[in-house]
Amino acid sequence: MPLLRHPPALVGASLLLLFTAVALAAGWLYPGDPLDMVAQPLLWPGEDLAFPLGTDQMGRDLAAGLAHGARASLAVGAYAALVGLGIGTLVGAAGGYFGGWLDEGLTRLTELFQTMPTMLLAIVVIAIAQPSTETVAFAIGLASWPTIARLVRAQFRSLREADFVMAARSLGYSDLRIIFREMLPNALPPIVVTTSAMVASAILLESALSFLGMSDPNLMSWGTMIGNGRELLRTAWYLTALPGAAISLVVLSLNLVGDGLNDHFNPRLK
């Protein structure tokens, strides 16, 4: 296990597993709706043992909000990374393998998407469609695939003349089999490392969109909690500090895991 030989990555993986467990158990830990008003407004953390992390200005339990918010934020981050990974892998693999006019066209398409501000593109997509978890995840993935596309294209361009690829062609393998069965597994290490960074970026972007009100209004997320507490930042700073700390810890854990995977897969660091 590469993470066992990299203490910071092990810490990051432990944090990530903890948040994932909280997200999966949110419905069991807090079976009610986190948007329900259940107590006196603006209870500070520790003031009432029934609500250990306090309540917001509407009397909603912050602990329930953080648990259910973990589910929403992590789900959007994972789904968005999958969308970006799928689009970027297909575009980069096709361009890097076939080359020629197809590579030229896909490269220009990738550069076109890279010139668009990520946040602005996501806002436009969400504004056109109905704000929901699926829409937000798709919008973030649609805005983030060029990074993966350029990486996969570079990997395929360096591998397409390799001996094992030439051998596969001589055996009459189809292009699809060579791309997905022969070349893609050899290009996976840098893709895996980049994917961890994509998930972290997607969680940050989802939080920013939720802060701006561009998210599902029926779901609690960390960005929504920060947005709801911004007007009371001076008098009840914990309303924004708690979800902000959760976002920071998740992003930190993903970056630590990514660093550990990079140290493991990068031959120059061995």
Residue 38 domain-assigned (yes or no) = no
Task: Using the structure block, give the residue that is written with the tokens 């937000």.
Answer: 136
Which domain does 212 fall in, by range? Answer: 21-26+54-262
122-151: b or e for each residue (b if 16 or more CB lie within 10 Å)?
bbebbeeeebebebbbbbbbbbbbbbbbbb
Strand partners, 48: 51
- Give average pLDDT by consecutive 10-residue segment, the chain, 270 residues: 70 92 92 88 88 90 92 90 93 91 92 88 86 87 91 90 87 88 86 87 88 82 88 89 93 88 64
On whether residue 12 sits in a domain, the answer given is no
Q: How far apart are alpha carbons 52 and 60 in whole angstroms?
A: 12
In this prediction, residue 4 carries a pLDDT of 61
Asked if residue 106 belongs to a domain, the reply is yes
Which two three-digit tokens encode residue 175? 């292009």
Is 46 within the bounds of a domain? no
User: What Å distances lie between residue 109 and 42, 80, 103, CA to CA?
Assistant: 50, 20, 10
Residue 260 is inside which H or E element, if any?
Answer: helix 238-265
Non-local CB neighbours of 73 within 8 Å, separated by 6+ positions? 203, 206, 207, 221, 222, 223, 247, 250
Q: Which long-range contacts (CB under 8 A, 24 or more apart) does 193-196 make?
A: 193/258, 193/261, 193/262, 193/265, 194/147, 194/148, 194/151, 195/81, 195/85, 195/148, 196/254, 196/255, 196/257, 196/258, 196/261
Mean residue pLDDT across the chain = 87
Q: What is the pLDDT of residue 33?
A: 86
Three-class SS state of 61:
strand
Give the C-alpha separation, 245 to 230, whole Å: 15
- The CATH number assigned to the domain holding 181 equals 1.10.3720.10
Residue 14 lies in a domain: no
The tokens for 129 are: 């469609």
What is the tens place of the pLDDT at every residue in 65-78? 999 999 888 988 89
Any domain includes 1: no
Looking at residue 244, its pLDDT comes to: 92
In a domain, 33, yes or no: no
Residue 224 lies in a domain: yes
Express each pLDDT in 16-50 by its tens digit.
Answer: 999 999 999 998 999 888 888 888 988 899 888 88
Q: For the chain, what is the domain count?
A: 1
Give residue 2's pLDDT: 53
